[in-house]
Amino acid sequence: MKDKKNDLKDESLEFADQKIIPVNMEKEVKKSFIEYSMSVIVSRALPDVRDGMKPGARRVLYAMYEDNLTYDKPFRKSATTVGNVLGRYHPHGDSSVYGTMVRMAQPFSLRYPLVEGHGNFGSVDGDPPAAYRYTEARLARLSDEMMRDIDRDTVDFVGNFDNRRREPTVLPSRFPNLLVNGSVGIAVGMATNIPPHNLCEVIDGTICLMDNPNAELSEIMQYIKGPDFPTYGLIYGKNGIVEAYKTGRGHVMMRSRAEVDEENHRIIITEIPYMVIKSDLLKTIAEKVRDKVIEGLTDVRDESGRAGMRIVIEYRRDANGHVILNQLYKYTKLQDTCAINMLALVNGEPKVLPLKAILSEYIKFQEEIITRRTIFDLKKAKERAHILEGYLMALDHIDEVISIIRSSQTDSEASSRLIERFGFTPEQTTAILEMKLRRLTGLERDKIQEELDGLRRAIAYYEDLLAHEEKILGVIKEEMREISKKFGDKRRTEISQVEKDLDVEDLIADEDMVVTITHTGYVKRIPVAAY
């Protein structure tokens, strides 16, 4: 009976065309983990150095562009965009897609938002956005520059997950978006944290490097002075900025903008560091007061409104406001550190890049964009000029052309006879056969000649442009200056030259003391008021 059971058990393991492959568990886990980690690194968490976008964000922008949701069109429900992104390009969680779209619409997250939101898209207090069925969105005006020339063969397209659609591998990004809006991402075994910068400064720095490819970092930093955060605030010291720009890694100390009102015994805060949640900051201050880490505070209240941010911290009359402010810097996120790690994908490979390398990769990419765009325009212009030349030749022999067409039984016969008689190409004969009768007027002939002359000038310009790299760089500079003029603004974050850590003396108030010495040699310190 036992043997029969074993026989049945063995038979149940046998299947038609069964193939058992012995696998080493250690090697299989290692291989699978490497594949997973590379997928996260390349297809999820890290931005591309060329357009500064992660795949999820790129797909959101492209899906909105496909749906013609530009800044000059009406808003549309966010749920529509989320559904389209999921169905066409990004078969992952809807919350991740909506979260990506929300972040691109938040003026306190991106220095220059790429999505324009209508409704509750969260707040600097950490409030979550409304569900996507309630909010509406469309592309921001600046997103036009992310997409400009995408339909002129400037970037490569690949099949989506089911090969029913084509999606871009990168966006043309006519401004250096990686630096302008920065990026935050956690991959497997690596992370990126690139702070946002001022658009005008980054464009000026890029042009500086185009003019002088051997420019030193100090020359570029005359234009790109440092990060420029959407929440304003102050950067304390330049050493961390220089280190980050030189090596790709560094630490920048950020401070709130605070004013001590000694007359009314209060501290007024109007700007806080980037990525600090205001409600959490207030909660931390209250906890430090409760735990007696910071003493002398009587009230903390948030008076922020339409006029902007305003946090009021009141302190006792006998306390020193400057010492309390230093204590707040020391023990709360009124002073915070931004750990810069400029990690991005270069040709699909993650690399930590100094500032000059990021700009160099971007310039190389834009040269490719303008070259491909010019080749596309040149091809179109030559094709159109070829058709117009056929029109003019046909008009010069219009009676004979009409006679051949009328005496032909089919289109193919008419086409072959025209080719044989006048030497037209198949494309020209097709256009001639489809030509409208109004083209036979003298005025129309003049228009055709005028258009042809314009195309010949354009062809000469395109060919000259392709033959001279410096002229391509000139086009890039000119178009970037237009973007800077149109969308640029003043720096928000002030950079202080001073770099000094708070020491113990900064946390102790200056006050007059009486020092007494007893007959037995004991020394005692007492405040004058108490003495």
Q: Which residues are catalytic?
A: 134
| Interacting residues of 35 by C-beta distance below 8 A, sequence separation 6+ | none
Cβ atoms within 10 Å of 231's Cβ, excluding its own: 21
Q: Which of 491, 108, 121, 494 is nearest to 275 (CA)?
A: 108
- Are β-strands 349-352 and 297-302 bridged in parallel, bridged antiparallel, or unpaired? unpaired
Distance CA 214, CA 165 (A): 43
Taking the C-alpha atoms of residue 333 and residue 196, their distance in angstroms, rounded to an integer, is 19
Structure tokens that stand for 459 in this block: 């062809």
Residue 63: which of 97, 111, 102 has the closest Cα?
A: 97
In which region does residue 244 sit, left (phi positive, over 0), alpha (psi from -120 to 50) or beta (all else)? alpha
134: region left, alpha or beta (phi > 0 left; psi from -120 to 50 alpha): alpha
102 closest CA partner among 39, 56, 66: 56
> With contact defined as beta carbons under 8 Å apart, do 58 and 181 qualify?
no
Cα(139)–Cα(167) distance, integer angstroms: 18
Where are the strands (E) in 35-139, listed by range? 76-77, 115-118, 136-139
